[in-house]
Structure 1
Amino acid sequence: MRTAYRVETVRTAERALMARLPEGTLMARAAAGLAAACADLLRGGRSRRVVLLVGSGDNGGDALYAGARLARRGAGVTAVLLSPDRAHPGGLAALRAAGGRVAAPDEAAAALARADLVVDGITGIGGRGGLRPEAAELARLVHAAGTPVVAVDLPSGVDPDTGEVRGEAVRAALTVTFGTHKPGLLVDPAAEHAGEVRLVDIGLGPELPATPDLTALEPADVAALLPRPTGESDKYRRGVIGIAAGSPRYPGAAVLAVGGALHGGAGAVRYAGPADAAVIARYPETLVSTGLPHQAGRVQAWVVGPGIGDDPQARERVADVLDADVPVLVDADGLRGLDPDRIRARTAPTVLTPHAGEAAALLGTARDRVEAARLTAVRELAERFGAVALLKGSTTLVADPAGGPVRVNPTGTPWLATAGSGDVLSGLIGALLATGLTPLDAASTGAYLHGLAGSHAPTPPSASTVTEALPAVWRALLDHRTP
């Protein structure tokens, strides 16, 4: 499982490790990894001109020492110093000794115009609140030049703990981060600025606490969570998922949610609602009924909301499902006007799966605020409703009301922003709930599978083709292959 830690935790771990090592050891390790990554990008090019953008912190020191290594390998290295009197003295001396040159900020444009690679060492993990004017101007110049950028630890201008971006920020092709991932490298909008992320081991692992701030499932983690039938399994022992979705106006939502549920590992799917004809026509294995959900028969979990509309009958269906003493996933129309006290009063777990607009309505804030501060929003949703919250979007996040690490989904593609995709995800997660996975595991495993299916479906995918891609994704994971 990939893990990420907040700056305060990283700083504490660094201090503990540095106390046992010769002075400068950690910076030397970081610079070596950074230089190797830069050399990989320069390999094969006819020219090897590197510009270092150097701030006053340790990130600037890492960049200077890495630049010295590159200069000794024959690269032409120029360091643009934002604060010459505060540049790391050891790193600056090493660069000059290796033949590198130093430039002032007003020479940056000319240097960048000739560069083959830019190393962003303006700010480090201590950067907060956006870039100062001079640094922001450098970020604009870098963007205008179009030269590939390698960010040191994380791109300057992004918040390392929250993933927020306030104002100008460097956009990197590659970010070389040290010791551990930082939350901002995994969460948009900051993650969008990071490009590819390469982790350099500097020996920090033993100093980090067992509980990280953010986690991301990897293939082996998901494979271990996937439900597997045994020789004694029958359709009921494998779990039965109930779907309360769709309406006369939106029958397709019911079909898509049922499709996701049928590919979620449960033994049977019950559908309750007015789209029974459409569901049975597409999926004849579904057990259908037209009454209220509680009349459909016994289930181990319910999904309610996709395409149900907002009329009194829809509200009655939501209330009926929330009265059930089984795990419930609420999505789409089911989220409208949802009462936090009603959810907190439930005796069984609840999962909420809003997109940013729905989350904004639930939190009483603006959509752009949710999208700018995803980690804050998903944690607030989980705490306010006492439910597992899955916030959909460019970065899908899952938070547990009990606290603990937020899970970030590492799979997916922008092509999944298509009508009905969320309905498939709801059914898929609901089925995993019915098989007995915890709400946190069901939500994060469902998001992982859904993201992989979106990447493997024919391009451009539709919600239906995403559903059809799920079996191949399951099979690859169960066979311990990378999908």
Structure 2
Amino acid sequence: MNALRVTTAAEAAARDQAAIAAGTGSFELMLAAGTAAAAAILRDYAGRLSHGVALFAGSGNNGGDAYIVAAQLARVGVAVRLHAAVPPRTPDAVRAMLLAAPALVHGDPNGHERVVVDGLLGTGHQGALREPVLAACTRVARARDGGATVIALDVPSGLDATTGEVADGSPAADTTLCFGTIKRGLLLARGHVGRLVLLDIGLAGAADRDDDAWHLPHADDVQRWLRPIAWNAHKGQRGRVAIVGGHEGMAGAVILAARAALAAGAGLAHAIVDTASVAAVQLTVPQALAERWPLHDPASLAEEGAEATTLHRCDALAIGPGLGRGPRSSQLLEHILNAYRDRPLLLDADALWLIAEVAHALGTEAAVLMRHWTRHSRAVVCTPHDGEFARLLGTAVPSAWDARAEALRQFAVRSGVTVLLKGTPTMVATPDGRPVTVAPYGTPLLATGGSGDVLSGLIAALMGQGLAPLEAAVCGATVHGRAAEIATARLGGVRGGTLEALFDALPTAWRGLEHAVVHPPGVLADLPSPT
């Protein structure tokens, strides 16, 4: 996977230094960043430039970037007015100021500009904002409140590039133009960042350093993973998915998962549910084949289970949505894992709760039990949310993102399964111990009961169509999050939206993933605003 890198402030600085050590001058990097940013502004906001552009510059290299942007915009006839909150102090920033000086319209921004560039503070800033930068940040925020488009260079001033913490007074951006690598804090504070555009500044191989930087798949990777469905394919060739769950009173979870599996292109979806839930599935999802759990008497499992269902013919199996937590549910889970471990498997919801419960009763770790129960499976994905992951760990999920990512990675290694931790961003760890992969998509529309069941159905269907665990997990999380973004944009917000809006947006989200993404020159990635 040729992934983009999501870096901490230190990891980003190390890449800059590696490029410099390889022969690229530090001012060359600044010139490339400012030029690429100016080109993006001219391309995407040309209709807002008639009143000029206001730029706010700090004393460091982020301010130097702003001076380069000003110079390049002025070269093509845009009126630029720049306010230096603090005079430039670094050698490169001073050089950039001298380069831009002849082109600047002298004097502060007049307040009529419809584009405002925030170049006050960059990735090296931590902690509270102080004067006079705080006053300049206030002016940027007021301009945005007045209808101006705010464009941040690398990070919005006052946002911690590593932790995503937002200092009081930090101005939110409509667009953030990120240089070379995506800074981790941007994905942890998407609502403050706006649209996120990653620009190529010539880091080349330096961006691919071997460290713990998170991975973000290229759009063309995701497109390649999504194998096309042949025009003459029949239902048996599109993947047969079985979803086991739906205890009495909890049919809805399997219904949502089955609908999602079908919406992901599965040719057949089997809903294996408690007898009391069969009618609800048949009425609500007539396209699915509803069958009862392969047991009435737990003791008869070995005799009738395999013949009583079609599980032995499925291409992928998901177990957990609405499964329940009683003895029957536990025995069914153990039977399924023993009898059908030779096919791709997704574990979610109550299945994870039961694994943790059995592990506790046996006095062992959930990861060890999971590895034992799935040891013959060639492809396993589990999809906990924070509460379920804490139960699997036996302790609280770390709040610090480095520790959280490491806990996820270690659990994946110890359990031998691919683990998707739902959240903002969603994180995926693999049994080989590689750095985590992130899917930074979604809105609060997903923060509702049943959203995880939809994700389970999507991932199970993709596994049934032949995707590897990491591929299926990342593609499923991506289309799930993108559909939420599309639905939220259509609704104009989250209130009033339900999972029906998510389902309605899935076709558009799929088309966006299946078709090649052609970015303008110099653009490596373009993530839409989640709000």
Bucket of the pairwise TM-score, normalised by the shorter protein:
0.7 to 0.9
Indicate how the Cα distance of structure 1 residues 184 and 426 shifts in structure 2: closer, same or farther if over 3 A, else same. same
TM alignment of 1:439-458, pairs within 5 A: 439-454=469-484
Determine if contact 1:273/1:289 at 8 Å carries over to the other structure.
yes
* Structure 2 Cα separation of the partners of residues 125 and 481 of structure 1: 28
Determine if contact 1:153/1:175 at 8 Å carries over to the other structure.
yes
Partner of 1:198: 197
Determine if contact 2:177/2:198 at 8 Å carries over to the other structure.
yes
Determine if contact 1:389/1:400 at 8 Å carries over to the other structure.
yes
Partner of 2:84: 79
Partner of 2:250: 250
Partner of 2:433: 403
Partner of 1:334: 351
Structure 1 residue 54: deviation in Å? 0.3
* Structure 2 Cα separation of the partners of residues 470 and 173 of structure 1: 25
Partner of 2:174: 173
- RMSD over aligned CA atoms reads 3.9
TM alignment of 1:36-185, pairs within 5 A: 36-38=39-41, 41=45, 44=48, 47-48=51-52, 50-55=54-59, 57-70=60-73, 73-81=78-86, 88-99=93-104, 116-127=114-125, 129-134=126-131, 135=133, 138-139=136-137, 142-145=140-143, 146=145, 147-161=148-162, 163-165=163-165, 167-168=167-168, 169-185=170-186
Indicate how the Cα distance of structure 1 residues 360 and 425 shifts in structure 2: closer, same or farther if over 3 A, else same. same
Structure 1 residue 399: deviation in Å? 2.5
Determine if contact 1:78/1:100 at 8 Å carries over to the other structure.
no
Structure 1 residue 202: deviation in Å? 2.4
Indicate how the Cα distance of structure 1 residues 453 and 164 shifts in structure 2: closer, same or farther if over 3 A, else same. closer
* Identity fraction in percent: 33
Determine if contact 2:253/2:450 at 8 Å carries over to the other structure.
yes
Determine if contact 1:378/1:391 at 8 Å carries over to the other structure.
no
- With 30-39 and 137-146 compared, the bigger mean Cα shift is at 137-146
* Structure 2 Cα separation of the partners of residues 112 and 398 of structure 1: 47
Partner of 1:384: 411
Determine if contact 1:276/1:290 at 8 Å carries over to the other structure.
no
Residue identity opposite 1:399 in structure 2: A
Partner of 2:462: 432
* Structure 2 Cα separation of the partners of residues 364 and 166 of structure 1: 31
Structure 1 residue 443: deviation in Å? 1.0
Partner of 2:280: 278
* Structure 2 Cα separation of the partners of residues 49 and 228 of structure 1: 45
Indicate how the Cα distance of structure 1 residues 241 and 374 shifts in structure 2: closer, same or farther if over 3 A, else same. farther
Structure 1 residue 80: deviation in Å? 0.9
TM-score, reference length from structure 1: 0.80
Residue identity opposite 2:141 in structure 1: H
Structure 1 residue 79: deviation in Å? 1.2
* Structure 1 Cα separation of the partners of residues 265 and 333 of structure 2: 24
Structure 1 residue 278: deviation in Å? 1.6
Indicate how the Cα distance of structure 1 residues 354 and 74 shifts in structure 2: closer, same or farther if over 3 A, else same. same
Residues 342-399 of structure 1 show CA distances to partners (whole Å, capped at 9, x for unaligned) of 12333124322233444455456668x65xx567535522422533222333433322
TM-score, reference length from structure 2: 0.73
* Structure 1 Cα separation of the partners of residues 434 and 394 of structure 2: 24
Indicate how the Cα distance of structure 1 residues 379 and 426 shifts in structure 2: closer, same or farther if over 3 A, else same. farther
Q: How many aligned positions are there?
A: 466
Structure 1 residue 91: deviation in Å? 2.8
Residue identity opposite 1:174 in structure 2: T
Structure 2 stretches of 5 or more lacking a match? 296-300, 357-365, 519-531
Indicate how the Cα distance of structure 1 residues 140 and 330 shifts in structure 2: closer, same or farther if over 3 A, else same. farther
Residue identity opposite 1:305 in structure 2: G
* Structure 2 Cα separation of the partners of residues 74 and 424 of structure 1: 50
Residue identity opposite 2:54 in structure 1: V
Residues 420-462 of structure 1 show CA distances to partners (whole Å, capped at 9, x for unaligned) of 2321221121122233321111111222333444456675654
Determine if contact 1:42/1:117 at 8 Å carries over to the other structure.
no
Partner of 1:302: 317
What SS class does the counterpart of residue 390 from structure 1 fall into? strand
- With 440-449 and 34-43 compared, the bigger mean Cα shift is at 34-43
Structure 1 residue 279: deviation in Å? 1.7
Residues 169-194 of structure 1 show CA distances to partners (whole Å, capped at 9, x for unaligned) of 44212222223333333x222x3222
What SS class does the counterpart of residue 308 from structure 1 fall into? coil
Residues 243-297 of structure 1 show CA distances to partners (whole Å, capped at 9, x for unaligned) of 1222222211121112222334444333322122222333354151222595433
Structure 1 stretches of 5 or more lacking a match? 104-110
Determine if contact 1:4/1:215 at 8 Å carries over to the other structure.
yes
Determine if contact 1:396/1:408 at 8 Å carries over to the other structure.
yes
What SS class does the counterpart of residue 336 from structure 1 fall into? helix
Name which of 452, 464, 470 aligns with 1:422.
452
Partner of 1:108: none
Determine if contact 2:49/2:113 at 8 Å carries over to the other structure.
no
Residue identity opposite 2:350 in structure 1: D
Partner of 1:107: none
